[in-house]
Structure 1
C-alpha cells in the first residue's frame, strides 16, 4: 500500500481515478490501484471513453457482435459494459462503506446538456443498462440540468453532478439534490440508498483566471495567479457545510438521507510552473472526493504531502476571490465561459472522436 496515498485517504479524502478503459479492467491495472493505491472509485466522461475506444482494439469483438443498432445505442452499450464491470470490481468497497465509496460514473450524452427531458430519459436508460446499484449517473450542472437532477434523484437514482464552477451554481445544485430527496421521500423510496457527489472543477478555474490576470498585468493582478482555484474550492466547501448542516437536510437525514459530497475534479495541474500535486495536497478535507488522472495520482504517490486541512477556510476564499474581482476579473464571465467550454469540449469529443470511430467500425463490420 502506497504510504502517501494512504495518508491522504486517512485524512478523509476518497481517492477516485479519473479514467476507465477495458484495458485497465482486463489487465488487472484497476484492481492493482484498488489494492495498492487506496483507489475507492472511478469517474469517466465522454472524452475519456472516446480515448479508450479509439486508442485500442479492445472493443472490436463487441462491436462486431452488435446487431443492427444505431451509433448512439452502440456507444451506450459498450460504455455501460465497461462501467458495469468496474462496478463489479468495486462491489466489495461499496458494500463495506455502505455506498459511500465503491462508485463508478457514466455520463449522459453531452448533446443533452441543455435538454432537461432528454437528460432525464437518458439517465434512466443508462441506469438500466448498467444495472448496478453503485453506478452514478453524471448530469451536467447547466441551468437545464438542474431540474433533471431533481427528477432523477426523485426516482431513487444516484447522481454525480458535473461541470460545476461557481458557488452560485453549486448552491443551485445542492438545492436540486435536496428537492430530489424530498420527491423520493414522498414516493416512499428509501433515502439511504440514494447517494450523490457534486463535481467542482478546479484546474480550469486557474487556467482561465490566470490568463486574465496576465492580460491585466499589474503587480496586484500578477500576485494573484495560481490562487483562484483553491479559493473557489474553499468557498464551495463552506457552502456545503452550511447547506448540509441546515434544518432542511436535517429533516431528510432523520429519514436516512446522505449528504451530497463535494468532489474535486480536473485536479491535474495544467501550468508546469505549479507543483504537480497542488490540487491534491491543498484540497484535503474529511468527507470530500478527489478524482485524479493517473499521472497526478502517481505524482502524489511519489512525492505528495497531505497539506493543512482546507476546512473552515471559506472566509479566506471569499477574500481572495474579492481581490481578483477588485483587480478587474469578471468572475461571472469566467464561470460562464468555463461552463460553455466544458460542454463544448465534451460534444467535440463525442461527435468528432467517439461517433466517428463507432460509425467506421459498424460500417466495416457490414
Structure 2
C-alpha cells in the first residue's frame, strides 16, 4: 500500500501549484490564483462567509424556558449536547491529522479552517450549557461519553475508523477514514439535529436551535469538502477504487446508520410530539443513502429506504447551506446579537 508522506514546511524546488492531493510536490506557498483544484477557492469563500461565534446568539429566552421543559426534553437536550461535544472534539483532531498529509496548499488551508470551525462548535456547546445548567452538571454532560454505553459504541466506531489512518497513513486508510468522516459529520449528528429543530417548531429553545442550525450548515459544507477530496483521491489513485472498497463503504454506512438509529431510539423514541421513531428511523436510512451516494457509491445502504426526505418539515431548518440566511432569519424570532456574554442582561 502507498504510504502518505507528510507535507514539507517549504520546498524551493517545487512549484506553487501542487502536483497532487497527497504525495505531491508543492512549494507550500499558497496563491489562491494558482491552485490545482478549481473548486478550492469557492469552498474557501463559502467557509469564510459563514464565520460565526456563539457570542452572537442571545440565550436569554432559552435560559427562561429550559426549567419549563419536561424531564424527558431536558434529558434528551443534555444527552444530545454531550454527544455533539464528543463528535466535534474528535473531528477537530482528525482534521488536523489530514492537514498534515495534504500536499496541496489550498486544501491544507481549507482543512485548517474546518478544524477551527469544529473548535467553535465545541465552544458553542459550552456556551449553551453554561447558560442553562450548573458547572457540575456541565461537567457531567461532557463526561457522558465515558458513562453512556450507546455513546461509547459510537465513539469506538469512529475512533477505530480513524485509528488505522492515524497509525498507518496509507492511501487506502485515508480513503476509508473519509468514509467515517462523512458518517460523523453527515449522519451521526442528524437525529440530534431533528430533536432541536422539533423543539424550535414548537417555539422552544429557539436560540439553541439557531446555534444548531449554524453548526448544521457548517457540517454540510464540511461533508461537501470531504466529498471533493474523496473523489479527487480516487481519481488520482484509481487502484484503491475496488469492489472490496465499495463493499466496505456500503457496510460501514449501514453500521453507522444502525448506531444512529439506536441512539435515536434511546434519547428520542416516541416521547415527543411532532417526531416519531418510525419517521426518525426512515430519515436516518434516507440520510445514509444520500451520503453514500454523494461519495459515488449509490443508494444501496438501505434499498427500501425512502427516496425523498420523510421529515419534510425539517428541510426549512436544515438545508440552508446557501449563504448565511437560515430559517430563523426568514421568520420573526427572538434573536439579537449581544455583546454581553450569554445575554444575561435580558433576564
Which TM-score bucket, shorter chain as reference?
Answer: under 0.3
TM-score, length basis structure 2:
0.28
Return the TM-score normalized by structure 1.
0.27
